[in-house]
């Protein structure tokens, strides 16, 4: 789906921002991209859909070399949600905004309308409102709605939940998780380790432009030293599990920890009786 | 994103000049190109600019500026050369178009002037921190702070605008708008609907900036508020003398 082969990249007049990155993301994976501020996460994502071209190495997106294909063509199958939703929103009603994104993807007018209504309903948005007067969280939802409307097979999310309250956060992540279940491949940047723990299956850890970790979220989450190098703290439950040690070390969610703890207690009580 | 007019930090002779002197020097060099009718003087100004750029460690950038102006200059050169009809004909083309020696010389001068006049301004902005320009005008010339602030903000907004526009185009490319086309006219047509987000984000930013400035006592600021003093030094005098010489040469020849 997405493949980086020994990729180097540096912005004009700067030393290398990304150094020797190699990894491959397969179809249907949900990958979290972690790293400190300025690690190069957003830059990596821009390379993934061809907005930036590698200075050395190769990026294959959907099997195509990004150096040889136009980004606007790749964009038909790669959805990209930017850190700043305002750059994307350019129409003066929510409906027009979603339709604008669809114009390029769907030729049929009626199909476009139907798809647009579907998205409005999915996100519980009102089509008539002017996006510019809406809150940041709502604008984020509109931007995401117009990206998802085109049903991309690879979805890249640059901090989709930063600055949102818990409910809006869960609303967005719920939709993303649904898409993932239907087979969409997802690459998501996030600083929120709880969300990463809850939703992602695999994590890439970037630090100062280099890939320092790549593996299942369960394993990465337990590696406090690795996360520390990228200025991150593991999610609370795995951290607690790791501190408790013994049988709890494997606990990853509240439910798992609880069942381990209660299970143990239950056993003890039975033994005493 | 590093723009071609952004400040390049350094401690060269040019960097350390008084901002007011830099401003003056830039204008004097521009003026010199326009008062002279001599190709060699204009070429000399270009060479002087490049030498100054070299001394400030920004020769690469100066050459990039020249290169980016070259396309426009070539176009203007072609337009000019066909419109001047005085002088001896060097080459007669069909449709009554002819190229004359005067036309050639005039167009060449025109284009050289354009290049020579654009460089000093670009260089000046490259070696001067943008906040220094309005500040020195307030300090040394007594310009009211509010006006200077407007000027400073306007200068600062140019690269911000460019950056914002690049960001918006990037975002739209990522959703399939064909900004990566080679066709210039198609690109412009695609750009028009994007003026809305650009305007909105700019207005938002300006409004935010204005409110935050007001909250921090904007109206209390005056001539003495800046913490930087801009003293004149011997090197400033030398630079001014140099500029005056260049202008005198231009007037004489
Ligand atoms: N357009 C640009 N031009 C030049 N340098 C840039 C540009 N964008 C980013 N950089 C630099 O590249 C480095 C990586 O930036 P990037 O935006 O990829 O970081 P990030 O990991 O996404 O950070 P954050 O968590 O803050 O979003 C930073 O040091 C930044 O200064
Ligand atoms: Mg980022």
Measured between alpha carbons, how far is A214 from A190 in angstroms, rounded to an integer?
15
Residues of B in contact with A86 (CB under 8 A): 197, 200-201, 204
Secondary structure, 3-state, B237-250: HHHHHHHHHHHHHH
Gap from CA of A43 to ligand 1 centroid (Å): 6
**Which band of pLDDT confidence, cut at 50, 70 and 90, is reported for residue A42?**
very high
What pLDDT, on the 0 to 100 scale, is given for residue A266?
62
Question: Is residue A57's pLDDT more than 80?
Answer: yes
Smallest CA–CA distance from B192 into chain A, residue: A90
Judge if B36 and B70 occupy the same domain: yes
Mutate to test the interface with B, among A51, A89, A90, A106 (most CBs of B within 10 A): A90
**Rounded distance, CA A107 to CA A183, Å?**
24
User: A211 and A179, same structural domain?
Assistant: yes
Q: Say whether both B1 and B48 belong to one domain.
A: yes
Both A168 and A239 in one domain: the answer is no
- Where in the sequence is the domain holding A153, given as residue range(s)? 2-221
Residue A203: inside a domain, yes or no? yes
CATH number of the domain to which A186 belongs: 3.40.50.300
Q: CB burial class (10 A; 0-12, 13-18, 19+) of residue B13?
A: middle
Q: Are residues B239 and B118 part of one domain?
A: yes
Residue of A87, A143, A154, A155 to mutate, interface with B, max B Cβ within 10 Å: A87
Residues A66 and A187 in one domain: yes
Angle at B147 between CA B143 and CA B150, to 5 degrees: 140
User: Is the predicted pLDDT of residue A147 greater than 80, yes or no?
Assistant: yes
Kindly state the tokens that stand for B249. Answer: 């040469």
Which range, of A29-38, B21-30, B81-90, averages the lowest pLDDT? B81-90
Nearest CB to A104; choose among B164, B168, B176: B176
Say what the pLDDT of residue A112 is. Answer: 86
Neighbours of ion ligand 2 (CB under 5 A): A 42
Is residue B1 less than 8 Å (CB to CB) from chain A? yes
CB A214, CB A31: distance < 8 Å: no
Q: What is the pLDDT of residue A100?
A: 85
Asked whether residue B214 carries a pLDDT value surpassing 90, the answer given is: no
Interface of B with A in 203-242 (CB under 8 A): 204
Does residue A267 carry a pLDDT above 70? no
8 A C-beta contact, residue A52 and residue A9: yes
Q: What average pLDDT does chain A have? A: 86
Helices and strands (H and E) in chain A: how many: 11, 10
- 3-state SS string for A9-58: ECCCCCCCCEEEEEEEECCCCEEEEEECCCCCHHHHHHHHCCCCCCCEEE
How close B150 gets to chain A, by Cα (Å)?
26
Say yes or no: B201 and B233 in one domain: no
Q: What whole-number percentage of chain B has pLDDT above 90?
A: 0
Within-domain flag for A85: yes
Cα separation, B51 vs B20, whole angstroms:
21
Alpha helices in chain B (DSSP H): 13-16, 19-35, 39-55, 59-83, 101-127, 132-141, 145-174, 184-191, 195-215, 234-252
User: Does some domain include residue A262?
Assistant: yes
Same domain flag for A156 and A249: no
pLDDT in tens, B126-181: 888 877 887 888 877 877 877 888 887 787 777 778 888 888 888 888 887 777 77
CA of residue A11 to ligand 1 center, whole Å: 9
Residues A131, A182: one domain?
A: yes
Q: What is the pLDDT of residue B2?
A: 54
For residue A229, is it within any domain?
A: no
| Residues B175, B133 share a domain | no
Please enumerate in sequence order all residues whose Cβ is within 8 A of that of A10, keeping only pairs 6 or more positions apart, or say none.
Answer: A16, A17, A18, A55
The rounded percent of chain B whose pLDDT value lies above 70 is 92
A51 and A186, same domain (yes or no)? yes
A228 part of a folded domain: no
Domain co-membership, A273 together with A142: no
**Pairing relationship of beta strands A202-207 and A56-61 according to DSSP bridges:** unpaired
Q: Give the tens place of pLDDT for each residue, A100-141.
A: 888 877 778 888 888 899 889 888 888 888 887 788 888 888
Judgement on whether residues A242 and A215 belong to the same structural domain of the protein: no
Identify whether residues B122 and B208 lie together within a single domain. Answer: no
| B147/B137 same-domain check | no
Q: What is the mean pLDDT of chain B?
A: 80
Q: What percent of chain A has pLDDT over 90?
A: 30
More confident residue, B3 or A124: A124
Same domain, B72 and B147: no
Is pLDDT above 70 for A55? Answer: yes
Same domain, A87 and A165: yes
Q: Is B171 on the interface with A (CB under 8 A)?
A: yes
SS3 A157: strand
A56 and A190 housed in the same domain: yes
DSSP lists the bridge partners of residue A238 as: none
Domain presence at residue A226: no
Number of domains in chain B: 2
Q: Which range, of A154-158, A198-202, B202-206, averages the lowest pLDDT?
A: B202-206
pTM for this one?
A: 0.74
As a whole number of angstroms, the distance between CA A144 and CA A153 comes to 14
- A80 and A149 in a common domain: yes
Q: What pLDDT band is residue B53 in, cutting at 50, 70 and 90?
A: confident
**Domain match, B60 and B133 both:** yes
pLDDT in tens, B131-145: 788 788 887 787 787
Banded pLDDT at A44 (limits 50, 70, 90): very high
Measure CA of the first residue to CA of the last residue in chain A; give whole Å: 57
Q: Which domain holds residue B120?
A: 1-142+227-253
User: Distance between CA atoms of A64 and A1, rounded to whole angstroms?
Assistant: 9
Please, which residues have CB within 8 angstroms of residue A116's CB and are 6 or more apart in sequence?
A95, A98, A99, A102, A127, A149
Q: What are the two backbone dihedrals, phi and then psi, of residue B99, each rounded to the nearest 5 degrees?
A: -105, 125
Name the more confident of B1 and A219.
A219
Q: Averaged over B40-64, what is the pLDDT?
A: 84
Q: Which residue has the higher pLDDT, B78 or A55?
A: A55
Structural contact between residues B202 and A131, judged by C-beta atoms closer than 8 angstroms: no
pLDDT at A186: 95
Does B12 share its domain with B111? yes
pLDDT at B56 over 90: no
Do A81 and A144 have their domain in common?
yes
pLDDT at A243 over 80: yes
The count of structural domains within chain A is: 2
Q: Phi/psi at A216 (nearest 5 deg)?
A: -60, 145
Q: What is the pLDDT of residues B104-120, one digit of tens each?
A: 888 888 888 888 888 88
**CA-nearest residue, atom 7 of ligand 1:** B1
In this prediction, residue B250 carries a pLDDT of 76
> Both B240 and B156 in a single domain?
no
Identify the band that residue B1 occupies on the pLDDT scale cut at 50, 70 and 90.
very low
Same domain, residue pair B132 and B166:
no
Which secondary-structure segment (H or E) carries B89? strand B89-92
Kindly indicate the confidence band of residue B222, based on its pLDDT and cuts at 50, 70 and 90: low
**Residue A264: band (very low, low, confident or very high) from pLDDT cuts 50, 70, 90:** low
pLDDT at A3: 92
Is residue A111, in this structure, part of any structural domain at all?
Answer: yes
A117, part of any domain: yes
Q: Tokens for A245?
A: 């040690």
Q: Which tokens belong to B197?
A: 């987000």
Distance CA B244, CA A261 (A): 86
């Amino acid at each position: 789906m997405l493949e980086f082969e020994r990729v180097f990249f540096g912005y004009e007049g700067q030393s290398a921002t990304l150094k020797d990155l190699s990894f491959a993301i397969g179809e249907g994976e949900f990958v979290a991209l972690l790293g400190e501020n300025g690690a190069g996460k957003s830059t990596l994502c821009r390379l993934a859909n061809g907005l930036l071209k590698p200075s050395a190495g190769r990026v294959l997106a959907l099997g195509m070399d990004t150096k040889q294909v136009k980004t606007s063509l790749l964009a038909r199958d790669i959805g990209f949600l930017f850190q700043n939703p305002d750059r994307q929103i350019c129409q003066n009603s929510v409906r027009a905004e979603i339709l604008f994104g669809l114009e390029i993807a769907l030729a049929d007018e009626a199909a476009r309308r139907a798809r647009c209504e579907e998205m409005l309903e999915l996100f519980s948005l009102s089509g008539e409102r002017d996006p510019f007067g809406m809150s940041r969280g709502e604008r984020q939802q509109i931007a995401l709605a117009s990206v998802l409307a085109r049903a991309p097979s690879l979805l890249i999310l640059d901090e989709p939940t930063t600055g949102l309250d818990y409910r809006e956060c869960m609303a967005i992540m719920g939709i993303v998780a649904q898409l993932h279940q239907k087979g969409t491949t997802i690459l998501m940047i996030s600083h929120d380790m709880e969300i990463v723990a809850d939703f992602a299956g695999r994590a890439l850890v970037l630090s100062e432009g280099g890939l320092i970790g790549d593996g299942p979220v369960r394993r990465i989450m337990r590696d406090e030293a690795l996360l520390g190098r990228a200025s991150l703290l593991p999610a609370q439950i795995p951290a607690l599990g790791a501190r408790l040690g013994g049988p709890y070390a494997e606990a990853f969610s509240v439910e798992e920890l609880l069942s381990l703890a209660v299970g143990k207690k239950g056993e003890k009580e039975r033994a005493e009786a | 994103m590093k723009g071609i007019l952004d400040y390049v930090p350094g401690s060269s002779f040019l960097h350390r000049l008084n901002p007011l002197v830099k401003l003056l020097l830039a204008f004097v060099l521009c003026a010199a190109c326009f008062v002279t009718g001599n190709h060699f003087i204009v070429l000399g100004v270009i060479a002087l600019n490049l030498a100054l750029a070299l001394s400030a460690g920004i020769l690469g950038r100066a050459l990039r500026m020249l290169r980016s102006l070259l396309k426009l200059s070539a176009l203007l050169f072609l337009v000019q050369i066909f419109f001047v009809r005085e002088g001896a004909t060097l080459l007669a083309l069909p449709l009554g178009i002819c190229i004359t020696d005067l036309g050639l010389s005039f167009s060449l001068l025109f284009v050289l002037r354009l290049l020579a006049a654009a460089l000093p301004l670009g260089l000046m902005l490259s070696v001067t921190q943008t906040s220094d320009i309005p500040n020195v005008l307030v300090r040394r010339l007594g310009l009211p702070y509010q006006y200077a602030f407007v000027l400073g903000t306007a200068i600062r907004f140019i690269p911000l605008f460019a950056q914002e526009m690049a960001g918006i185009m990037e975002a739209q490319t990522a959703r399939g708008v064909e900004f990566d086309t080679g066709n210039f006219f198609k690109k412009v047509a695609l750009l028009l609907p994007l003026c809305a987000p650009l305007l909105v984000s700019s207005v938002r930013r300006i409004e935010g900036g204005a409110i935050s400035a007001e909250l921090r006592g904007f109206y209390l600021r005056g001539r003495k508020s800046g913490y930087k003093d801009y003293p004149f030094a011997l090197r400033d005098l030398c630079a001014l003398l140099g500029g005056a010489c260049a202008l005198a040469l231009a007037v004489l020849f």
